[in-house]
Amino acid sequence: MKAHLLYPDADFDLKADLAPGHGDLVQDLELSTVLTAMAGDDKFRRDVSARVLLTSCTDPAVIRYRQQILADCISHPDVIRQMYNTSVSTLREKRRVWGFLSSRNPSTILSAAVNQLDVLITGLRQLRRLADENADAFQSAGLTALFDSLQRDLDDEYFETLAQHLRQLRFTGGVPISAELDRDNSGINYVLRSGSTRRGWKELVGIEARSVYSFTLHPRDEAGAQALSDVTARGINLVANAAARSADHVTSYFTMLQTELAFYVSCLSLHDQLTARDVPVTFPEPVFDQPTADHPAGGEKAGGEKAGGWSADGLPPWPQLSCTDLRDASLALRIDRVVGNDIDAVGKPLVIITGASSGGKSTFLRSVGVAQLMMQAGLFVTAQSFRSSICRQVFTHFIREEDASMVSGRLDEELARMSVIADRLSPNCLVLFNESFAATNEREGSEIGRQVVRALLQAGVRVCFVTHQFDFADSFYRQQPDSTVCLRAPRQPDGQRTFRLEVAEPLPTSFGQDIYYRIGGWLGEQEARNVWDSQR
């Protein structure tokens, strides 16, 4: 039997290495907040959730497969939690059972395997009962197949047969073994027999003839006891190994079931916390842009129609990114009121976000990255609607603090990180830039940014770029309008921020003086308003 709750035809590999750069994703997108909401203090669930979230699935069929299972889980959370708790408690009890399967003594191996199989079979009975009671309520292919296998493979006859075998393997009446003598009177051809070695009462009282002949070892006959133990070991060696393999097989089933259910139980915890805060959640629509020889980034229109050519800028066609009321999941878990944003970047691989400082630009950038990862993990996203092209991998290039050791300057560090990312990039990746290349003057920083972004776009990489560099943003806005969406964080006349981005051309100011005056700048109120008016 297989769980197959994360892949239709494969197990989830919990030990697989994560993609390089996953630590930057966790740090820059503040994924620790999401993982804590999913798993709390449960280290196992947190590890599983992190691995599923950071292992971006690129198969839309698998993503939809997980979405359907998760939808079933949300509709029937108690059943899923019971199944998960059953797998956890069964494995816990199995570890408490006395016995050492790693022993070289066949008797010890057999005893341990039988004791552990007793516990595991109890867990299987509980899973079968849950399947009988709840199978009809589930619609997803994954959970339907799981319940079908539990009912089909774990029927009453199967459990009765198992119980009978386990009773026999305890050999309460002795170990029936046959053997032959070799020419030198050594034992050969040891075979374990079915049945019992116990004699009936008539034989014991002498009414019937003896069916077996026996002898009794003296309590101090250590050599005789060792010889008898060796004979027993030879007879039960094969069945002991078979029982141990059976225990390992059932254990691996429970382990995989626990692992894959851990992800969905964590998703339920996240869903409960988000909905309790009135945060919108929806299942996103993944779009697959299949690469071809002629179009490295492939292309598919919103209705499934294949794209017919490249844009006027020489860029790959039809990357998808559109959403309504998209919110940063990490921020929504920390504060009560989070403003959502809408974007329509269909066919435009470059999104540039400019505008007022502290206006929600970085928050929006994180919301895109987190939603992309959640979508490709099979999760819901925090939005009213979300549609995006599947990307092979998400990368982040966020501003970092100055190197305290002064080994290198900030610009050197940024360029070094960009070089590492470039070595890992391939078409259909997504790179999120936050205030990158701003450690030098505007002219040099803008030129570096232009060259990097143009190279990425030509390679079929999607880019979202938060920047205060007007020269950089304005050049793409004017020179490549067909491939660029420019969003701006607005500022109210009184200096307040709405945190709701709007499509607008870049401005040569980010209104940074607002923050300066807010924290105690030396200009008076009227002088500040004059400055604000001049910047508008």
Q: Give the domain ranges of the chain.
A: 57-170+248-276, 285-535
The pLDDT score that the predictor gives to residue 178 is 73
| Pair 453, 350: CB distance under 8 Å | yes
Cα–Cα distance, 81 to 79 (Å, whole number): 5
Around Cβ 370, how many Cβ atoms within 10 Å?
A: 28
The alpha carbon of residue 120 and the mean position of all alpha carbons in its chain are separated, in whole angstroms, by 27
Strands 502-503 and 385-389: unpaired
Residue 30 has a pLDDT of 95
Query: Exposure pattern of 314-344 as b/e (b: 16+ CB <10 Å)?
Result: ebbbbbbbbbbbbbbbbbbbeeeebbbbbbe
Q: How many distinct helices (H) and strands (E) make up the chain? A: 17, 12
What is the CB-side half-sphere exposure of residue 76 using CA atoms within 13 A? 19
Cα dihedral 40, 43, 47, 49 sign: negative
C-beta separation of 329 from 374 below 8 A: yes
**For residue 364, what are its two tokens?**
């929006």
CA 29, distance to chain mean position in Å, is 16
Helix (H, G, I), strand (E, B), or coil: what is residue 484?
Answer: strand
Q: What is the DSSP letter of 517?
A: H
pLDDT for 192: 72
Q: Which amino acid, 414?
A: E
* Vertex 383: Cα angle to 381 and 389 (nearest 5): 60
Q: Which of 469, 489, 470, 468 is nearest to 361 (CA)?
A: 489
Please report, in angstroms and rounded to a whole number, the separation of the first and last CA atoms in the chain: 66
DSSP state of 381: B
User: Helix or strand or coil: residue 32?
Assistant: helix
Q: What is the model's pLDDT at position 295? A: 41
Would you write out the chain's pLDDT as a tens digit for each of its 536 residues?
A: 789 999 999 999 988 888 888 999 999 999 999 999 999 999 999 999 999 999 989 999 999 999 999 999 999 999 999 999 999 999 999 988 765 555 667 777 888 888 888 899 999 999 999 999 999 999 999 999 999 999 999 888 888 888 887 777 777 666 677 777 788 877 777 777 676 555 565 655 566 666 566 667 677 877 766 666 666 666 677 777 788 888 889 999 999 999 999 999 999 999 999 999 999 999 999 988 654 444 444 444 334 444 444 444 444 446 889 999 999 999 999 998 899 999 999 989 999 999 888 888 999 999 999 999 999 999 999 999 999 999 999 999 998 776 565 466 788 889 999 999 999 999 999 999 999 998 888 899 999 999 999 999 999 999 999 999 999 999 999 999 989 999 999 877 776 778 899 999 988 865 455 444 455 554 455 555 554 454 44
Q: What is the pLDDT of residue 510?
A: 52
SS (H, E, C) 133-167: HHHHHCCCHHHHHHHHHHHHHCCHHHHHHHHHHHH
DSSP letter string, 411-479? HHHHHHHHHHHHHH--TT-EEEEESTT-SS-HHHHHHHHHHHHHHHHHTT-EEEEE---HHHHHHHHHH
225 and 217 Cβ atoms separated by less than 8 Å: yes
**Under 8 Å between Cβ of 282 and 384:** yes
Amino acid 246: pLDDT: 87
**285-535: in CATH 3.40.50.300:** yes
Phi first, then psi: what are they for 489, rounded to 5°?
-80, 110
pLDDT at position 381, please?
Answer: 98
